[in-house]
Amino acid sequence: MQPSGTFHRHNEPYPTATPAVFLDRDGVLVEETGYLHTIQDAILISDAPHAIRRLNQRHIPAVIITNQAGIARGYYTWEDFHLVQTHIERQFQNHGALFDGIWACAHHPQGAGPLASHHPFRKPNPGMILDAASKLNLDLSRSWLIGDKTIDIKAALNASLAGAILVRTGYGKSMEDEVHALASSPTSIHVCDTLAAAVTVILHHLGYNE
């Protein structure tokens, strides 16, 4: 069982500061089901493995950052989370796609007990991004984030990332107006239909011509 309200697992740090792509999980990598907590409901979004594999091929770190408020609300446990997360990563591995790290935050202001807080790791706070940058040696000034909620995009802004992309999967379509209102930020903000399209945008900005 997870003893605290946060979790992370990651590879060894990169030898030189490297731009990364941060990814929300539910609604971006797997179908949004509402407080995902069973492996039966963990269904990969069709283009997600190929998109992550493209990042892998260019040695661009792919890092999952996910709020898991369902734990604070008592809907499921850390054990449930770990079972689902392991299952998701194995499915990606079966498609030749790997992640450099996973960060999760269970805190929520309306949760129970010690998890009832707006923890620095909980998006839209940038804590998970900043911690990942520290542990993996990531260059945030050239890094991007892909999410399906306004809080994802705000987390990218709060971490001063180069860019953020809202995908129209998951909750993305319903969040477009809110995200467009953030467009005056120094962080470059885009909206894409799919994760594959978002990765294409990022690779272009990082200088990869495809």
Question: Per residue in 85-114, pLDDT tens?
Answer: 999 999 999 999 999 999 999 999 988 888
Other residues' Cβ atoms within 10 Å of the Cβ of residue 173? 13
Residues 6+ apart with CB under 8 A from 75: 35, 37
Catalytic (active-site) positions = 24, 26
Are 153 and 179 in contact by the 8 Å Cβ rule? The answer is yes
Alpha-carbon distance 180 to 65, whole Å? Answer: 22
pLDDT digits (tens, 9 = 90+) for 29-73: 999 999 999 999 999 999 999 999 999 999 999 999 999 999 999
The CATH H-level superfamily of 6-205 is: HAD superfamily/HAD-like (3.40.50.1000)
Given a cut of 90, whether residue 139 has pLDDT beyond it is yes
| pTM of this structure | 0.97
Alpha-carbon distance 195 to 187, whole Å? Answer: 19
Q: Where are the domains of the chain?
A: 6-205
Other residues' Cβ atoms within 10 Å of the Cβ of residue 139? 14
pLDDT digits (tens, 9 = 90+) for 180-190: 999 888 999 99
- Nearest to 103, CA basis, from 80, 89, 121: 121
